[in-house]
A and B are shown apart, each in its own frame.
Chain A
C-alpha cells in the first residue's frame, strides 16, 4: 500500500519537475507578487499638493515652510493663516496634505518646549496616505535635527496626524499575510484542479481507477507534492516580505508554517473537488479561479476591510478559508500572538480542511470512480 502510494507520488513529482515553465512560474510567483504588490502599495508619491497653515509667520516657521518647498515631493498649493479656509479645499480634493503650525510654534521652538504641528492627510487611498505621512514626517524630523544641532536647547516638535476619510490605515504589513493566502490558494487549488482534470481528460485516470490504487491514494498522491510546493512558496513570500519590505515578524515562524500547511490543505481539497465536478482542464481552471481567487482577494479582508462591508458579505466571508488564515497570519506576524489567541480560527481552518477533504473524496468516488 505504501509502495503503491510512493510510486504514484513519484510520478506526480516527476510531472511537476518536468514542466519547467510552470514550475518556474509557480516558484517565482510569490516573489513577484510580494514585490509587485509591495511596491504598488508603497508607491512613490510625487507632487503632493500641500497646504500650509501658518497663523503667525516667523523665521522658524518660514524655515520649516522652505524645507517643505525644497523637499521636491511637495507642491505648496496654498498658504493661509487659518485652518478653516483649508478645510473646503480638502473636501473638494484640491489638496492632499495640510501642515498646520501652532500659533506659538516659533516661541516654543525657541524655548525648547514641544512645538505642535498638525498633519492632516487625505487618506482615501490608504497607501498613498501613509506614504505622504512618511514624507511629511521626514521633512519635520530633518528640520528638528538641523535646528537641534545649531541651537543650545533641543528642539522638539510634536506632530499630530489626522487621517481624513480613512482613519484605519492599511499598509503593506497588513497586506503580506493576504498575499501568502493568495499564493497558497493559487498553487494549491488551481494546480491540483488542473492536474487532476488533466488525468480525467486524457483518460489516464481510468487506468488508475482500474488499478489497485484507491481513490484516497490518488487524491493524497495529487495533493502531497503540491503541499511541498506551497510550503516553498510560503517561505519565499515570507523571506521576500522580510528582506525587501522589512515586514515585522513578531510571532512563531513554526506556528505560521503549520497554519500555512493547514490552509493549503483546504485549498487543495477545493482543487480536488473542482476537478471531480468539471469535465475539462479549461473549465476546471476557470472554476478554480472563480471559486478561490475571487473570494480570497475580495471577501477575505485582504484588500477591503470586512468591517466596512454589508452585513450579507460579512456573513458570507465566514465560509472563505482565506479570511481565517489572514486573521491568523496577521496575528502571528504583526501582533506576535500565539495559539492561545488563534485557536478558534485554527479550529475553523482544520474543520474546513476535514469537511472539504471529505466532500472531495466523496465527490471523487461518486463522479469518477
Chain B
C-alpha cells in the first residue's frame, strides 16, 4: 500500500525536551526522541525511571511541565482531542470490565470510539475468531487471554499508534510469545507500537529501544547497534550497566 509506504517515512511521535515535575521531583527530565511510523519502539527503564509518566504525557493523561511533542502528527498541547481518536492505550493494569462479556467490552469501546454498529459487529467477529475466544464473561478468562483481548480492544479503532505499558506483566512465556506475534502483526499493518517492558528479552524484539534512567533517556538505538556500541552480549547486560552506574 502506498499510504503505508509514505507513512513509514513519517514520524509517529516526536518528543522535544518533554519534562514533568511533581513539586521538586522531576519525574521526566527533558527527554527528546522520535518514533517512526510503523516501528516497534521499546521504552525501557527501571521502576521509577519515569516510563509511566512519559507514557501518560504522550497519551494526554498528564500535562507536560515543559517541552513539546507531536503524536500522530498532531500537537500534544493544542490537538489533544484529535490525538485521542488516533491512539490506543493499554495500561499496566488489566483494564477491561470483568463483569461484562467479551462482546460487551468490545461494543463499549467501539461505541466510545464512534464505530458504527455494523463495524463493531464485523470487528468483534474477526477478533473472536482470531483469538479463538467465545463470548463469555471476561472474569472467567485466564490472564494471558485477558491481556491479548485487551490489546486487541486497544487496536479496535485502528489507531495510528498504540501505547502498551508493560503489557506482558505476570504472563507466562508462551503467552508472551503469542503477544509479541500480535505486536508484530499490528506493526505489519502499519500501526506504530510504543511499548514499555521489564523483560529484556522482549527488548530484543523491538525495532529500536531507549533506556530511561532517572528521568532521562540514557541511550537509544536498535538493539544490535546498542550491543555493539557498549560491547555487551545482551540488552539485559546493558540495562544493568546503565541503570546502576559503577
Contact = CB atoms under 8 A, between A and B. Distances in A.
A203 B95 contact: yes
A204 B95 contact: yes
Given A206-B61, A212-B81, A3 B111 contact: yes
Contacts of B202: none
Interface stretch (A14-22, A114-122, A324-332): A14-22
Contacts, number: 73
Interface string A47-91: 000000000000000000000000000000000000000000000
A204 B114 contact: no
Interface stretch (A5-13, A101-109, A227-235): A5-13
A210 B99 contact: no
Interface residues of B, number: 28
Interface string B44-62: 0000000000000001110
A202 B111 CA distance: 21
Contacts of A202: 93-95
Given A19-B99, A207-B89, A212-B84, A7 B94 contact: no
Nearest to A6: B111
B28 interface: no
**A interface, over-half SS:** helix
Count class of interface residues, chain A: 20 to 34
Nearest to B109: A211
B91 interface: yes
B91 A8 contact: no
Interface string A193-234: 000000000111011111111000000000000000000000
B95 A207 contact: yes
B111 A10 contact: yes
Contacts of A203: 91-95
Interface of B: 59-61, 81, 84-85, 87, 89-97, 99-100, 104, 107-114, 163
16 contacts: A3-B114, A4-B113, A7-B108, A7-B112, A8-B108, A15-B99, A18-B99, A202-B95, A203-B92, A203-B94, A207-B95, A210-B61, A210-B84, A212-B81, A212-B84, A212-B114
Interface of A: 3-4, 6-8, 10-11, 14-15, 18-19, 202-204, 206-213, 369
